[in-house]
Structure 1
């Protein structure tokens, strides 16, 4: 179960914009991530590589946690808002829920739930 301080530190890291470093610092070596029940990506190096690839396609991303983050033992749910600006100048506003299972002070499993229609640039 994450301490309140560790969870706040994770949220601050994501809001600070270094998403790849947040994965390195807050996920287990064998962590998995999946989106809308798709096949999960597995292993911290693969998660970091995928995140880096996503970020390489953007000019900027602003990340915001909508409070409160919900904690029940080893399970955490965070509502995120991401505002992406693509290198082409197009903007995307994405709201999602991240369901996480923590092992101690690191995330072992994470699943994102969002409406894929939000992925269309505005």
Structure 2
């Protein structure tokens, strides 16, 4: 179970848009991550590479945790709103729930739940 301080540090890193760094700092080496019901990606290094790939396509990102954060033992649910401004000038606004299973102070498993229609970039 994450300590309240660890959870707050994790949220702060994401809100600072240090997404890849947050993965390096807070995810277990063999953690799994999946989008909705897609196949899980396994391994922290793969998660970091994926974050960097997405961020390389963005001119800017805004990340906001919508509170409250729900904690029940090793399970945490965070509601996020992200706004991506892409290099081509389009914008994507996504709202999602992230369900996490922590092992101590590290995220071992995470699944994102969101409407895939949000992923379509739009002109501002």
- TM class by shorter-chain length? over 0.9
Structure 2: distance between partners of 1:61 and 1:110 = 21
With structure 2 as the length reference, what TM-score do the two structures score? 0.97
Structure 2: distance between partners of 1:67 and 1:116 = 22
Secondary structure class of the residue paired with 1:93: strand
Task: Let me know the Cα RMSD of the aligned residues.
Answer: 0.5
1:17 is matched with 17
Structure 2: distance between partners of 1:117 and 1:17 = 23
Deviation at 1:121, TM superposition (A): 1.4
Give CA deviations for 1:44-83 in whole Å, capped at 9, x if unaligned.
Answer: 0001001111111111110000000000000000000000
Structure 1: distance between partners of 2:48 and 2:92 = 22
Secondary structure class of the residue paired with 2:89: coil
Secondary structure class of the residue paired with 2:38: coil
What stretches of structure 1 move > 4 A for 4+ residues in a row? none
1:70 is matched with 70
Show structure 1 runs of 5+ residues with no match.
Answer: none
Secondary structure class of the residue paired with 1:13: helix
